[in-house]
Structure 1
Amino acid sequence: MQASVRVANSDLHAKFGPKLITSVPGPRAQRIVADDHRLISPSYTRGYPLVVKNGRGCRIQDVDGNEFLDFTAGIAVDSTGHCHPEVVKAIQEQAAQLIHMSGTDFYYDLMPQVASRLSAIAPMPGPHRFYFGNSGAEAVECALKLARYHTGRQNIISFFGSFHGRTMGALSLTASKVQQKRRFAPFVPGVTHVPYPYRYRGTGGGPQEEEAYGLSCARFLEEKLFKTMLPPEEVAAIFVEPIQGEGGYVVPPNIFLQELRRICDRHGILLVADEVQSGVGRTGRWWAIEHSGVEPDIVCIAKGIASGMPLGICMAKAELMDWVPGSHASTYGGNPICLAAAMATLNIIEREGMNNAATVGAAAFARLGAWVEKYEIVGDVRGRGLMIGVEIIEDKQSRKQAGALRDRIVDLAFERGLLLLGCGENTVRLCPPLIVTQEETDVALDILECVIEECVMLATR
């Protein structure tokens, strides 16, 4: 089946497709992988043996000269593609002027520049204040500490399926994979996890049933949790991903987020939106929570904000960030080079990336959606913009999660020159750079469809 698709789109694949000159991994890659296994922490979750040498746009070249089509974007980090010339120029020019002078102790203009730029596109009314760190986990740690500091309350609510990071505070909020927490207890106390509306796993009904399901998940807090074990006046914040990332690219009904906002307002609880993976234009809007019309109190930002440079940001309503000097800080947070990359990234996404994510994402979603009826192993397709998940199952009747089959699909795609990642128990995630073209997307989906058809045929033999 792969051959038939390639013949039908031979010119497209020749121009926009991957270019493999060796089997993968090639000989150089194999040597480096062997060295890595000997020297590097085994805690990293490598899926397949890709050894990267360089990247441009939506393409990655490995150390053996093989060129891949990248639909991972460094786990949704390289939002403007690899080595976008405007980002590279901003990094080079800043590095020639100032590499580091800790913003914890001194001032420089890029910090208020980036803050002002983000304030103008914030998903809640201003004024705002900003904290700069180095990663998504650090942005979450800041939000956790700030929520407790401002409210004087200790308890936090998070959701099953959530991923907020691996540092101890962020890990305490995380509930996506048990291995992430195994043998690291005790965790930060005061965190309670509650159900998140996973439509495909919770209801198979139409829009009305899905809304009722989303509403019931939110109302679980008042109808059960607050009546039995957690006084609402002792809850500082609810941390929620507007779209769950590591949990499986799960998109909740808008009414779920809307009801969370109402619950927070009733009880003086802060609503924290973790937009680390879903923010900065990836869903076709600046922030995924904007699709629901909900205004959060605090937003956690990282990944795509600086096109690969390490930057994490906690954005809050100004009145909430009322702590005093020494309460929280970071030596490297808001590094000048990272902030210069962020300014260039925001320019590119505003000019073209966000609209492209909406347009190309909609076309991809339309094609992928047809696969639910076409292929027995495709259970669900969900997402917004260029944040799309394809859930792989054993069969339609049981909906049994097929994690091993999902992994096989990702591996086969790699062997054909397409880079993908999994998320959740059994979902393939598509999160290419926001500048990906329609032609590159068509080729990537051709390859993915060929792999899925191959797996279907093998299963029926």
Structure 2
Amino acid sequence: MSDLYERSAAVMPPFALHKMPFGIDHASGSYLYTDDGRKILDFGSGIAVNNLGHNYPTVVKAAHEQLDKMVHCCHNLFHYEKETALAERIVGLMGGGYKVYFSNSGAEAVEGAVKLAKYATERPAIIAFKGSFHGRTMMCTSLTASNSAYRKHYEGLVPSIYFAEYPKLFGTPYKMEDGKCPKQYFTQFDDIFKRLVDPYSVAAILMEPVQGEGGYVVPPREWVQYVREICDKYGIMLIFDEVQTGFGRTGNMFAWQTHGVKPDIMSCAKGIANGLPLSAVVGKAEIMDKWTAGAHGGTFGANPVSCAAALATIDVLEGGAIENGRRMGEYFIGELKKLQAKYPVIGDVRGLGLMIGMEMVYPDGSPNREMTARIVSLALEHDLYLLSCGCDKNVVRFIAPLTVSKEEIDTALSVLGKVFDQIADEA
């Protein structure tokens, strides 16, 4: 255990110490370099933040140039070029007809999106989904349903929030016919509106277009489209939480493009500035125009340095990084499915782009949390950093940077092969 860890333990609370027992000295590309001399292949990407890998040169250069000009002047008080240019760029990515408000974190953006929906509709209720993760403010904790630990001791939470079932088809309790999404995931809305909340009291349906902490669950396209229809029918705002899925992660700039379903409001953060703190609420112009002075705000949002980095990040994403991520994701999923055919403990491999999950199960199909933890631990011993997720903590997630090379993926696959061989030898 490094000296840095010991020093941290003396000055940080326990929840802030759930980290590796070593420190990171520097990082570059797909690699972390530790304070004890290790070089670790990073397939966590700062939890889907470093979509271009660490310290991407043109992003760092843009941040440095802006740092020399102006660090902060507060977007609540002044206009400045980088904020406006970035907002224009994002509106262009949406195809026009939207407006943008910048914050600092994903939770702030989700909270802002929900506040906007409530303000614009003057309705009280929100429908979210089981398995969701939206952040750690009181509002976002109230909207999160992937782990009760996130909610423990924080009751009572924000009222008028209702939870629907997210269609996780692997292990679904419902009957599937011809591989199609079971009807219960569609008809549940009728039941919610009949028994729990009138649809005209619902301000928004909030969903991750691919669930993150809930297990990297990809919903069927037709179900996402149906949710859009439900919202249109009752005048409900459809909010996509694209904090983790946005900026190239799923093979398009945004996951709504992958599904072919446009949200009324979107929250985004993480990969937006490739490591600098920045987030955004993106909403249709006619909805945003209802958000009058005093209805929302924030001191540090739209930091000029972060905005400069975001503009440079988008340049790289559009310049080929997204396409590389799409191709590498297809290759990676294909190779992981070969592992699945060899090792029955791998129950499912799923994902979009480079947002990939590998679900571990026991022979009876039940969640194998222990195997997941063992894989993550052994991979790190072989200098491959992975994360887990899922409501049962039984999904290994792969979040390689979009700039990852085939050689780096092959290195990760080689490590996984060694890990599975070692586990087999231990059995």
Query: What is the TM-score when the length of structure 1 is the normalising length?
Result: 0.90
Aligned length: 424
Moved more, 450-459 or 184-193: 450-459
Residue 139 of structure 2 corresponds to residue 169 of structure 1: yes
Q: Is the 8 A contact 1:77 1:303 kept in 2?
A: yes
Mapped partners of 1:316, 1:161: distance in 2: 25
* 1:437 counterpart residue number: 405
Q: Is the 8 A contact 2:167 2:181 kept in 1?
A: no
Residue 74 of structure 2 corresponds to residue 105 of structure 1: no
Mapped partners of 1:142, 1:267: distance in 2: 22
Residue 17 of structure 2 corresponds to residue 48 of structure 1: no
Mapped partners of 1:452, 1:275: distance in 2: 33
1:324 to 264, 286, 292: 292
Residue 335 of structure 2 corresponds to residue 367 of structure 1: yes
* 2:96 counterpart residue number: 126
1:37 Cα deviation (Å)?
2.1
Q: Which residue identity lines up with residue 238 of structure 1 in the other structure?
A: I
* 1:423 counterpart residue number: 389
2:151 to 167, 175, 181: 181
Mapped partners of 1:252, 1:340: distance in 2: 34
**RMSD after superposition:** 1.4
Mapped partners of 1:273, 1:50: distance in 2: 36
Mapped partners of 1:379, 1:457: distance in 2: 20
1:269 to 216, 222, 236: 236
1:402 to 358, 363, 368: 368
Q: Is the 8 A contact 1:272 1:298 kept in 2?
A: yes
Gaps of 5+ in 2: none
1:211 Cα deviation (Å)?
2.6
* 1:137 counterpart residue number: 107
Q: Is the 8 A contact 2:49 2:271 kept in 1?
A: yes
Identity %: 41
Mapped partners of 2:308, 2:116: distance in 1: 26
Secondary structure of 1:163's aligned partner: coil
1:45 Cα deviation (Å)?
6.6
Mapped partners of 1:372, 1:205: distance in 2: 24
Mapped partners of 1:419, 1:443: distance in 2: 12
Mapped partners of 1:344, 1:50: distance in 2: 31
* 1:349 counterpart residue number: 317
Mapped partners of 2:291, 2:397: distance in 1: 39
CA, structure 1 residues 118+212, in 2 after alignment: closer, same or farther (shift >3 Å)? same
* 1:151 counterpart residue number: 121
Mapped partners of 2:259, 2:242: distance in 1: 14
Residue 63 of structure 2 corresponds to residue 63 of structure 1: no
* 1:253 counterpart residue number: 220
Deviations 1:100-121 (A, max 9, x none): 0000111111112111111111
Moved more, 179-188 or 33-42: 33-42
* 1:14 counterpart residue number: none
Q: Which residue identity lines up with residue 386 of structure 2 in the other structure?
A: L
Q: Which residue identity lines up with residue 96 of structure 1 in the other structure?
A: D
Q: Is the 8 A contact 2:200 2:234 kept in 1?
A: yes
Mapped partners of 1:328, 1:452: distance in 2: 51
Q: Is the 8 A contact 2:169 2:181 kept in 1?
A: no
* 2:272 counterpart residue number: 305
Residue 181 of structure 2 corresponds to residue 212 of structure 1: yes
* 1:228 counterpart residue number: 195
Q: Is the 8 A contact 1:386 1:432 kept in 2?
A: yes
Q: Is the 8 A contact 1:69 1:417 kept in 2?
A: yes
* 2:416 counterpart residue number: 448
Mapped partners of 2:347, 2:407: distance in 1: 26
2:252 to 285, 289, 307: 285
Q: Is the 8 A contact 1:91 1:341 kept in 2?
A: yes
Mapped partners of 2:257, 2:291: distance in 1: 28
Secondary structure of 1:409's aligned partner: helix
Q: Which residue identity lines up with residue 211 of structure 1 in the other structure?
A: K
Q: Which residue identity lines up with residue 352 of structure 1 in the other structure?
A: G
Q: Is the 8 A contact 2:52 2:402 kept in 1?
A: yes
Residue 360 of structure 2 corresponds to residue 392 of structure 1: yes
Secondary structure of 2:219's aligned partner: coil
Mapped partners of 2:22, 2:165: distance in 1: 36
Q: Is the 8 A contact 1:376 1:456 kept in 2?
A: no
Mapped partners of 1:47, 1:335: distance in 2: 28
Q: Which residue identity lines up with residue 343 of structure 2 in the other structure?
A: Y
Gaps of 5+ in 1: 1-28
* 1:414 counterpart residue number: 380
Mapped partners of 2:74, 2:110: distance in 1: 21
Q: Which residue identity lines up with residue 49 of structure 2 in the other structure?
A: V
Q: Which residue identity lines up with residue 250 of structure 1 in the other structure?
A: V
